[in-house]
Structure 1
């Protein structure tokens, strides 16, 4: 009963995270003009690191080399993911950015196939094909071209899938708080290094930009990502990725409400197909009858 209660609490925690992340797409979209992507990531993770030092000071004394190694791997993946996402959102809508990022749910089973030798089932394959069609409707322009923002958002979804798989593996035998701290430090360092050599320093930031940065740093980074690492300790990766995919829905809704983003029929159906692919990949509805045995070729040699 205790394990079941922890699993339920972890699921609810992940739902809470998706709402925060959904709002984050809007906040980042509104702030990225004032603060370049690299500096924004460095600031948001720097704020999270500072607060963690205050809140978990005694716990951080237990930091060991194993946690540091895990944090370096996760921090590098996290930096790449957030950098692609933050740069990408400059050239596309918050809704597109959210839905394309969420393709990590479809990618996760295939990454597990590579790492853990667990083959994806027919539902995962069907979901991947459906997702590709949805991405096409959502992003392809005339001449079968995608804009820069959509492409970066799509690559971001792939790297996020790698990060989710890595968290699921590395959080099994490590303190999630210590892993979160080390990956935040690594992400902030990478972001600051890239920003220092590629972006102008944001010398003037208005009140909205400052408040937005603190919201992203405290809510979307510290609270959400620490909670994600803790919850994934009690929730299987497949279910965790399914729940976290709801951020795309919330991101799209918040984009329409707060940024007045348009919702065309093409965008609507593309988003629906991606969302359906996410549901099919993880829920495996029985009415589709895509059981593995139905895809096997009978062996008549026996």
Structure 2
């Protein structure tokens, strides 16, 4: 049993993680003004990899071939997710980028079902319907087209879904810290190669570009990951999910405060539906449980009929 003080400190730590991640959407959006998406991903993960190697240097000797293989797979998926998310940030608002990327919360149970044969519950199915409606309100134009920034953000959410499920499976046999180090390293390599092959070299950098990259590498990646790893040890899963689901809300708030992004009624409704879907999928509100049980239970008269038979 953990003390109440430990629980509150851990919850505060997770809230700080969520604020860091939420503000990261604004930082990424700002960085795309000077750097190309793959370059941003390469630099942020290079910084995080170097810092992780320094902090956990004594443990690095335990990295073996299986860890390297797992890190390569997880690193590729991590690179893909962040690259698509950063592409989305370049062409859409920070608030939209945050909420559309967050669809991974709703998608994870369905991909886990495909791979691990663990069927999603009624909460997950209901959340998926809410999420689809929210995405439609948020992103679909009058002719049912979608702008490229929103499309890349959605694809980034799919990428994070794959990465989360892969990591959940891989960490069953791998040290989470060593897996993080190797996947960060491979994400750096994949992003650097992509940048060199497909992107022009940026020659005119804004004065704050270095600050943006350091923030993403040190705070949004390295510190947030370690703080999350430590704090989740003391916080029940349902509480942790509720706190971390606020990431997209903080992303939206930061977009309004720092980038002066505007919210229409339709966009706000889309945000609300996607956020509601996230809560429904992750937290499974207690007040809905009895209702869902009634929907899935057989009718009362059928139970009586079965009981009356010899």
Q: Secondary structure at the match of 1:204?
A: coil
Partner in structure 1 of residue 15 of structure 2: 15
**1:75-224 counterparts in 2 under 5 A?**
75-224=75-224
CA offset at residue 297 of structure 1?
6.3
- Structure 1 stretches lacking a partner, 5+ long: none
Partner in structure 1 of residue 292 of structure 2: 291
CA offset at residue 121 of structure 1?
1.1
Distance 1:96 1:191 in 2: 24
Are the aligned partners of 1:134 and 1:272 in contact in 2 as well (CA < 8 Å)? yes
- Compared with structure 1, are the counterparts of its residues 232 and 176 closer, same or farther at alpha carbon in structure 2 (3 Å cutoff)? farther
Partner in structure 2 of residue 264 of structure 1: 264
Partner in structure 1 of residue 42 of structure 2: 42
Are the aligned partners of 1:168 and 1:232 in contact in 2 as well (CA < 8 Å)? no
Are the aligned partners of 1:137 and 1:267 in contact in 2 as well (CA < 8 Å)? yes
Distance 1:274 1:243 in 2: 16
- Compared with structure 1, are the counterparts of its residues 261 and 79 closer, same or farther at alpha carbon in structure 2 (3 Å cutoff)? same
State the Cα deviation string for residues 45-83 of structure 1 (Å, max 9, x = none): 111112222222222122222322221121111101000
Are the aligned partners of 1:180 and 1:226 in contact in 2 as well (CA < 8 Å)? no
TM-score by length of 2: 0.88
**1:230-241 counterparts in 2 under 5 A?**
241=241
Which 10-residue stretch deviates more, 50-59 or 188-197?
A: 50-59
Q: Radius of gyration: which is bigger?
A: 2
Distance 1:188 1:6 in 2: 35
Are the aligned partners of 1:15 and 1:244 in contact in 2 as well (CA < 8 Å)? yes
Are the aligned partners of 2:81 and 2:160 in contact in 1 as well (CA < 8 Å)? yes
Which 10-residue stretch deviates more, 48-57 or 214-223?
A: 48-57
Distance 2:77 2:231 in 1: 19
Partner in structure 1 of residue 274 of structure 2: 274
Which 10-residue stretch deviates more, 128-137 or 222-231?
A: 222-231
- Compared with structure 1, are the counterparts of its residues 152 and 19 closer, same or farther at alpha carbon in structure 2 (3 Å cutoff)? same
- Compared with structure 1, are the counterparts of its residues 155 and 107 closer, same or farther at alpha carbon in structure 2 (3 Å cutoff)? same
Distance 2:12 2:180 in 1: 20
CA offset at residue 225 of structure 1?
2.9
The alignment covers a number of residue pairs equal to 302
